[in-house]
Structure 1
Amino acid sequence: MSISTIALIGFGEVGQALAAELSVNDSLKVKVYDLKLFDNRSVCAHAAAKADIMRCRSASEAAKGADLIISAVTAAQTVVAAKSVVLGLEAGAWFLDLNSASPEAKIAAAGVIEAATGRYVEASVMSPIEPKRLASPVLLGGPHAEMFASLIGGLGFTDAIYYSDRLGKTAAAKLCRSVMIKGLEALISESLLAARHYGVEDTVLASLNNLFPHPDWEGYARYMISRTLEHGARRSEEMREAAKTVAEAGITPWMSDAIADLQAWAPDYDSALKAEGLKPMLDAMRAQLKSEETK
């Protein structure tokens, strides 16, 4: 089955990155749906207006006639997104679920799509979507994953590989990794905000380099904190899914729950993103904290 029409459900960071590359392929027709697509105040509406893609009023409209539907919504909306395309889903159409949801949620979404005669493929992006975009490493899972892996490379997904025929395994790999990556972001944020208060941030960074060598710990720390400020809302949802994944393994998700809390807290301080350098960013966050304490 060739792929000529693609529907993107969700037009956030991932959806926009994929659309930017897929839409330049003259052999592909790209359609998109997002809840905020026609809200002129939203970032995704502005991005879609500039892109060479068809904007749809509903998920089912986007799915109609599509050979491939790519779901790139927030983690909590994984099953909702699968249900939203059913009325327009063509028999045998591929449904690629890129969402960072728990194995349980992926299995539930698969049930929705398969019941509607679609072909569900679980997928986990194992790096930030930028800068590689379509070339980002992706694990593919489920009964249809091996066949789909032979097709997707031709669309530009050059590092998408078949991982398992069992649903839930790519989600588990992604979310167990997220405990480490999002946890590191949270640890750096908490550690350096406190260290800046005491004036010991340089010593802390130097000591980190002894244990975890990095050519630019100060720049790396700023980048990691900026991720929580800019994307913490989406990351906190992902970490709630990670907590479910850990709990389903019979382990109390102490760390995952705490990471989710910090990621949810961070975006309130996103004005600090304007600050150049790590220390000005920390100072901007601390100034806002102090201002809130005095209210």
Structure 2
Amino acid sequence: MTVIAAASKIVIIGYGEVGRAFGDQLEKMGERPLYVDPVAAPRDPKHQVVPALPDHIEPGSLVLGVFPSAVAASVAREVAKRAGAFTYVDLSTSPMTLMRDCDAILAGTEVAFVDGAIMGSVDLSGAGSPIILSGAGAKSVSAALNRLGFNTRAMANSLPGEAGGLKLLRTLMSKGIEALAVECYATAQRMGLEAELRENLADISARPFPNLLDAMVRTHVLHAPRREHEVEDAIAQARSFGLQTPVSDAVLAAYARTSQRIAEESPTPPANVAEAVRWLSAGLS
């Protein structure tokens, strides 16, 4: 495993918003990163921006990849061509299978591969956004980045891909809530109940969010039929104000599927959320 030197050369692949935010933090700590971007031009004359990775990367260097997941494999292939025992951190938030492919591309080289996922908004928090790291070298990368003012955590005993996989699991939840919030807020606005809605939703945060989700999933096996009718009424209300509800329509369909399975199988009430998930996941296979 590559050991990251305290004063390693740092390369950032990607000169977009995230790359520049990370570079700004590194510069505050006295580093002068090299940016690699095939299309970007320097926005500041102090920055070193080149169109391709150097042929040789110094041993002990840290290479950070901040680019869309669509190019993750092609970048990994380019990294694999470079000589040198350095560490490469892919922060593209890619699916687990893609990160495992990138790890395989780099197998047999001296490059240590680490998968990373930025959990917060760089637009809001800059380089202070939480970053989760996975892979054999995650612990040393986390220590190196934290010394440089970043906010990282290494997943214990992890494999490459687990950080990105965790982020995309979170995406399923957060982006789904976001899409439902659009429909809910739009309906509230038409009804003149925006302020009242926000006040009414406050009790949802009275307990830890994961605990709330556990309760919802566990009781879904019991109460999906009743909740299906409630969702149906909520959709009808939104439509009465001239709104379409495509996301809520999908939610209603999900409740209908569970209700049908309950009618056909009469499942035993689950003792815990794990039992509920096992039964419910069978309907998603």
For the aligned pair, the TM-score class normalised by the smaller chain equals 0.5 to 0.7
For residues 63 and 199 of structure 1, the distance between their equivalents in structure 2, rounded to whole angstroms, comes to: 63
Q: Does 1:74 align with 2:78?
A: no
Decide which structure has the larger Cα Rg and report it: 2
* 2:248 alignment partner in structure 1: none
For residues 102 and 148 of structure 2, the distance between their equivalents in structure 1, rounded to whole angstroms, comes to: 24
Change (3 A) 1:12 1:128: same
The answer to whether the Cα contact below 8 Å between 1:56 and 1:62 also exists between their aligned partners in 2 is: no
Instruction: Give per-residue Cα distances to partners, 1:198-219, cap 9 Å, x unaligned.
Output: 5443443333234347xxxxxx
Q: Does 1:6 align with 2:10?
A: yes
Q: Which structure 2 segments of 5+ residues have no match?
A: 207-280
Match of 2:39 among 15, 36, 40: 36
Change (3 A) 1:206 1:57: same
Change (3 A) 1:158 1:210: closer
The answer to whether the Cα contact below 8 Å between 1:23 and 1:53 also exists between their aligned partners in 2 is: no
Change (3 A) 1:201 1:149: closer
For residues 284 and 69 of structure 2, the distance between their equivalents in structure 1, rounded to whole angstroms, comes to: 18
* 2:117 alignment partner in structure 1: 124
* 2:99 alignment partner in structure 1: 106
Distance apart, 1:159 and its partner CA: 3.5
Change (3 A) 1:180 1:35: farther
Change (3 A) 1:144 1:210: closer
| TM-score for the superposition, normalised by structure 2 | 0.62
For residues 145 and 167 of structure 1, the distance between their equivalents in structure 2, rounded to whole angstroms, comes to: 9
* 2:168 alignment partner in structure 1: 175
Among all aligned residue pairs of Structure 1 and Structure 2, give the percentage whose two residues are the same amino acid: 20
SS at match of 2:67: coil
Q: In the alignment, residue 16 of structure 1 is paired with which amino acid?
A: R
Q: Which structure 1 segments of 5+ residues have no match?
A: 39-47, 214-249, 255-295
For residues 36 and 253 of structure 1, the distance between their equivalents in structure 2, rounded to whole angstroms, comes to: 42
SS at match of 1:36: coil
Match of 1:21 among 18, 21, 25: 25
Q: In the alignment, residue 82 of structure 1 is paired with which amino acid?
A: A
Instruction: Give per-residue Cα distances to partners, 1:35-67, cap 9 Å, x unaligned.
Output: 4303xxxxxxxxx42263201012x23874481
Change (3 A) 1:23 1:114: farther
Q: In the alignment, residue 26 of structure 2 is paired with which amino acid?
A: L
For residues 31 and 63 of structure 1, the distance between their equivalents in structure 2, rounded to whole angstroms, comes to: 13
Q: Does 1:84 align with 2:87?
A: no
For residues 81 and 252 of structure 1, the distance between their equivalents in structure 2, rounded to whole angstroms, comes to: 38
Change (3 A) 1:143 1:251: farther
For residues 54 and 170 of structure 2, the distance between their equivalents in structure 1, rounded to whole angstroms, comes to: 35
Q: State how 1:157-236 maps to structure 2 within 5 Å.
A: 157-212=150-205
The answer to whether the Cα contact below 8 Å between 1:124 and 1:170 also exists between their aligned partners in 2 is: yes
* 1:221 alignment partner in structure 2: none
| TM-score for the superposition, normalised by structure 1 | 0.60
Q: In the alignment, residue 79 of structure 2 is paired with which amino acid?
A: V
The answer to whether the Cα contact below 8 Å between 1:140 and 1:164 also exists between their aligned partners in 2 is: no
Match of 2:51 among 32, 48, 57: 57
SS at match of 1:127: coil
For residues 117 and 153 of structure 1, the distance between their equivalents in structure 2, rounded to whole angstroms, comes to: 24
For residues 137 and 10 of structure 1, the distance between their equivalents in structure 2, rounded to whole angstroms, comes to: 19
How much is the aligned-residue C-alpha RMSD, in angstroms? 2.9
